[in-house]
Amino acid sequence: MPIIWVLECLEKFAECSLDSALLAGKVEQSCSSVTAVAIGVIFGITNTFRPFSDDIFRYDFKEPFKLQNGWLLWAGIGLFFALVSISLTGAVMTFLNGETTQRETDSLGLLLPLIGSSNISTACLLGITGVLAPILEETVFRGFLMVSLTMWFSTPVSVLITAVVFAFAHLTPGEIPQLFVLGVALGFSYSQTRNLLTPITQFMLLG
């Protein structure tokens, strides 16, 4: 699964010493290549197995604030919904558990000590976590999986199924509820615009 490839790249990056800027650059280049290959494979699959809608994998910068389907407007709406939902979910989990839920350390968390260690490593980190990961994940989950599911299920059901897969794919069991509501928010905003810039922007802002 493409997302696992990115996580493996991130884990290798986290194992680097703080001064290994050159190696960090090589890892970013590797992750960029994996991202390009993974997206290329997805595009190839959709071109082989038809029919898909004409607006699949649409990245359109036009009319960002159009009320009906403006990609930036609905990214903002989805972001607000995601923040509120995640906060409420966290509060409910805290109430049920009787204590504050501790955030699990995943691959991204292991990378935090590298921030600021050098300009190159910081730039690489921002490129991987802030750009490559959102583009790849949203292309896979919303652009491919969710669109594929709408061929057999209604849009709301497709959003929910995709959100479940999205939550479990991050391999952090303690954060599955929050990741699920995030996936719902991403799927909801994407369904309004059919433009992948919407969930990608939303994901980047949340990151």
Model confidence at 67: pLDDT above 80: yes
pLDDT confidence of residue 145: 87
- The crossing angle, in degrees rounded to 10, of helices 176-193 and 197-206 is 150
pLDDT confidence of residue 1: 45
Across 28-37, 40-49, 61-70, 74-83, least confident range: 28-37
pLDDT confidence of residue 15: 47
Model confidence at 117: pLDDT above 90: no
Q: Going by C-beta distance under 8 Å and a sequence separation of 6 or more, which residues neighbour residue 126?
A: none
Question: How far, in Å, CA of 34 to CA of 6, rounded?
Answer: 7
What's the number of domains the chain is made of?
Answer: 1
Listed residue (193, 203, 191) closest to 166, CA to CA: 203
DSSP annotation of 184: H
The reply to whether the predicted model has a pTM over 0.85 is no
Its domain, for residue 69, covers 2-206
Question: How far, in Å, CA of 185 to CA of 182, rounded?
Answer: 5
Model confidence at 194: pLDDT above 90: yes
Residues in the chain: 207
